[in-house]
Structure 1
Amino acid sequence: MDKKDVLYLVAALALVLVIALVIKPVVTGQPLETGIPLPVTTLEITTMPEHMPSLMTPIIVSSVTTPPTSVPTSLPTWNPGAVQTVVFVDPSTYGLTTDESELKATRINVSSLDTNMTTFATLGSSQGASGTTKTMYIPFPYWELEYTVEPATKLTQSKFEITPTAGSGIAHSGIEGSYSTVKPEFMIQVMDGDDPNRIVRTITPPGGIDLDLWLGNEPEGGEYPTRTSKYASQVTPDVTPVDPRPWTEKFYEGQRNYYFIFTAKGLNSYSMKIKVPSRYIGQY
């Protein structure tokens, strides 16, 4: 066999291989048998409506989750009108024995608390004069300041005498003047004895000082205040006058030094008591 025949034989074999490996799979829709494993891809074919054009622009659609139109709210689990009754069960339900179910606690003292107060110190002025006290130590953590005042109630006559003068005009002699009174005032300043610049508390009688109002006396002039005054509702006949004295101030600090500054005007006298709980006696 010559060289030309050999070339014809090789060409024929190559044609057979191309037909078997390439042309036949393409015609039959089978993958090419190249010996290399190919990834399997699944195509989802959607039939398009007839009125759609044949050439379509590809559209990328992303998955969108539509939120619910309303968020469900949890309903209340208890009706305030439905009162539950809790019953006892066998302690073994919780793995307890009868002895373990007993309350291990200290017995509570059911006796009532002693609320009595004992006077620790007294101070005041029988002339109603202003003044400052010496420093005193209060060893108790809680104490009360009880105070009262006695205002001057009588009017005083302001008078002066006119005597003849050497100048021109008519000379007069005698007593002239008008009745007047000073409005009673009272203030206590509780000072820190260890820090003179610290005012612990400034105290004045709540509502002011008005003895006629407290006792229901008819005011000077024979008429009660009109309905527009601040005292009108308290002096009408159907309201019983109330004397607010004594007043009490409570101090939730102690165990330190204090001194007191009194400012008084128009008072006959004032007095003050420092009281402490009776149960404190012997403990501090």
Structure 2
Amino acid sequence: MRHFIFILGIAMIVSVFLAGCTSDSVKESDIQTTISPLSLPPTTVTQSTIITSAITQTTIPQTVQIPIATVQTPDPLGESSKLMTVTTITGESGRQSVNVTVPYGYWEMWYTADPIVTGGQDSHSATGTNSAVFPSLSVVISDAARGEEIETVEPPGGLDIYLWQRSGDPRPWSTKFYEGNKEYTFDITARHLNSYVIEVRVPKT
């Protein structure tokens, strides 16, 4: 009996040993691992999905209208509250003849001149100094229809810059006429002047 149990025990030990060897002989490559793919539910994009995007703001240039400032050149003869200018004559050194119609029985001739030479005088200069150059302005006014000379207008005291520096600038000058309603001829002679301006003014109505 003991002999039988001994043999059975040896048989069990051998079986366990063989089983262990068989298990160690299994290669890793013989092990197959099955991974089931992960099934995800389908995604549905609806109108409620928020999509973030870059928004470029475009600035449309606008046309800006800048008002043009009206610059009025000051009248070199000054303005008058009682008279209005109907004719303006401008010029430099030289001669010119201009016909002017005066539609009123009373009018004034306003005028000024800018001499070229500082300190030059004409023959009527009050300073008594001499100059090789004599700036001058002379306006002979005649009746255009009859050719009759009415008056010769020249700056009182001449165009003497030195005198003006001491006693004050007398410009502009004016001469009054108590006849009108006719056409006049202005024969203008200017010598050594940068410019001159003559205006015919009549009463405002």
TM-score, scaled relative to structure 1: 0.38
1: CA distance, partners of 2:181 / 2:118: 43
2:175 to 227, 232, 249: 249
Moved over 3 A (4+): none
1:201 aligns with 2:151: yes
1:119 aligns with 2:69: no
1: CA distance, partners of 2:110 / 2:101: 17
Equivalent residue number for residue 227 of structure 1: none
Paired residue type of 1:254: G
Contact kept, 8 Å, 2:117 with 2:133, in 1: the verdict is no
Task: Give per-residue Cα distances to partners, 1:10-55, cap 9 Å, x unaligned.
Answer: xxxxxxxxxxxxxxxxxxxxxxxxxxxxxxxxxxxxxxxxxxxxxx
Task: Give per-residue Cα distances to partners, 1:173-206, cap 9 Å, x unaligned.
Answer: xxxxxxx74111211000101111x001111111
Structure 2: where are the runs of 5+ without partners?
Answer: 1-79, 120-130
Task: Give per-residue Cα distances to partners, 1:51-93, cap 9 Å, x unaligned.
Answer: xxxxxxxxxxxxxxxxxxxxxxxxxxxxxxxxxxxxxxxxxxx
2: CA distance, partners of 1:267 / 1:137: 26
Offset of residue 154 of structure 1: 5.3
1:214 aligns with 2:178: no
Which runs of structure 2 are paired with 1:230-249 in the superposition (5 Å)?
241-249=167-175
Contact kept, 8 Å, 1:129 with 1:269, in 2: the verdict is no
TM-score, scaled relative to structure 2: 0.52
Which runs of structure 2 are paired with 1:47-126 in the superposition (5 Å)?
116-125=82-91
Paired residue type of 1:132: S
Contact kept, 8 Å, 1:191 with 1:201, in 2: the verdict is yes
Larger Rg: 2
Offset of residue 264 of structure 1: 1.3
Task: Give per-residue Cα distances to partners, 1:123-182, cap 9 Å, x unaligned.
Answer: 020x3222111x232111100000111111259xxxxxxxxxxxxxxxxxxxxxxxx741
Offset of residue 272 of structure 1: 0.3
Paired residue type of 1:273: E
Contact kept, 8 Å, 1:115 with 1:277, in 2: the verdict is no
> Over the residues paired in the alignment, what is the CA RMSD in angstroms?
2.0
Question: Identity over the aligned pairs, expressed in percent?
Answer: 36
1:264 aligns with 2:187: no
Equivalent residue number for residue 186 of structure 1: 137
Contact kept, 8 Å, 2:93 with 2:189, in 1: the verdict is no
2: CA distance, partners of 1:152 / 1:188: 19
Structure 1: where are the runs of 5+ without partners?
Answer: 1-113, 156-179, 217-240, 280-284
Paired residue type of 2:85: T
Task: Give per-residue Cα distances to partners, 1:222-254, cap 9 Å, x unaligned.
Answer: xxxxxxxxxxxxxxxxxxx21111110000000
Q: For the structure 1 residues 252 and 181, does the alpha-carbon distance in structure 2 shift closer, same or farther, using more than 3 Å as the test?
A: same
SS in structure 2 of the partner of residue 140 of structure 1: coil
From the two aligned structures, give the one with the greater strand fraction: 2
SS in structure 2 of the partner of residue 147 of structure 1: strand
2: CA distance, partners of 1:136 / 1:275: 11
SS in structure 1 of the partner of residue 164 of structure 2: helix
Offset of residue 212 of structure 1: 2.0
How many pairs were matched up?
115
SS in structure 2 of the partner of residue 214 of structure 1: helix
SS in structure 2 of the partner of residue 146 of structure 1: strand
